[in-house]
Amino acid sequence: MIRIKTLTQRHLDKHLRGVPAGTADANSDYSDRRLMQKAIKYVAMSFVFVVAITVVSMGVNWASTGFEKLFTYKHNALKADLEASIHNSFTEVAPSASAKQENSAQEATALPMLTGPPLVSPSPSNFIKKPPQEPLAQMSVKITPEEQTVLVKKNEEKKLPIASLTKLMTALVVLENIDLNQQVIITKEAVAQEGEQGGLKLGQVLSVRALLYIMLIDSSNRAAYQLAEVLGIDQFIVTMNVEAQKLGLYNTRFSDATGLDKDSYSTAADLVKLSRYLFEKYPLFKEIIGLKEYSLYLSDGTFHHTLKNTNQLLGSRHIIGGKTGFTEAALGCFMVFQTPNESEPEKYVINIILGSEDRFGDMEKLIQNHSN
């Protein structure tokens, strides 16, 4: 009864205001529903937004953690490999069975997800340089007017290639068979020889004497070949071997005048004999090999260049002269003369090194050895 009365009263009031009955109630209900829908929509959108932000944040965090683990693993693996390589470089002890098992276990537990080329351990040779081997042959002999005394010897009778020590015999053949004042024109065959020592050019004119200086100081292959051409290459080589037999160099054979041919060979003992003969019989030879530098002139008086001796030990340790040599086949070869007592120049020492990886260092060791 109360509700009927209320509704009747509301109809009456709206009728009196000129508003049709039921219109206000309908509008009020419609507004309430619209408001409720908007509220639900905003709540749903907020929820979706929060969920999306959460998912993205979790994804970024997961990816970051995954990459960090991956790079940490690779870094640790590389570091472990490097440390192991360095350790192995300084120890030559073979790995034990337990160490091998440990390495196998580490490989078995490696992450299967990692792919690509394996990490390469640095070679021990990058950390440790092997010391050079000892010379293949060496000999030191003390010479006096009365006697000859062997101070040091090693494989002194072993036949070995001797590189530019061949030029000792080339010098002997020139000194005994060719006029030193003879003028020579440099040929294309001489210029074609390996090495630019001496700076010889096609068509230049020099004396035999000048070529001898170039050959013994600069160790020029071109000068040696040009000197051989004076007699003719074949005849010159024949003469070299004849001279070797005269001197009793029975373990020596020459196949060229330069020392480039690996078929030429000699021994430390034979080279001592050859060096002594040149040193004592030919003052010019002794003079040339004792020069650190020499100003060279062409036959027309034009300055050519300054020759610089290849003997780096000249002037030290009482060394008064010598001859160097090197080829891939012969390695380093070296002969020096010493006069331990300057007041007694007739007493001297001949030192020979053959097959050396460090000819100057090995020569210093040889001299130190017999000087003690």
Catalytic machinery residues: 164, 167, 219
323 is in an annotated binding site: yes
Q: Residue 16, Cβ neighbours under 10 Å: how many?
A: 8
| String of DSSP letters for 314-370 | TTSTTEEEEEEEEETTTEEEEEEEE-S-TT-TT-EEEEEEEEESSHHHHHHHHHHHH
The token pair that represents 60 in the structure block:
């970024």
Q: Which residue spans within the chain are E strands per DSSP?
A: 137-143, 148-154, 183-185, 205-207, 293-297, 303-308, 319-327, 331-338, 348-356
Nearest Cα neighbor of 199 from 221, 182, 229, 180 is 221
- CA dist 185 and 306 (Å) reads 20
253 phi and psi angles, rounded to 5 deg:
-145, 135
Which uninterrupted H or E stretch holds 298? none
Radius of gyration of the CA atoms of the chain, in A: 48
Residue located via tokens 């020139």: 174
Write the CA distances from 137 to 23, 167, 204, 269, 360, integer angstroms.
127, 19, 40, 10, 14
Kindly report the three-state secondary structure assignment for every residue of 216-246: HHCCCHHHHHHHHHHHCHHHHHHHHHHHHHH
- CA dist 315 and 291 (Å) reads 10
| Residues in the annotated binding site | 323
| Residues in the annotated binding site for substrate | 323
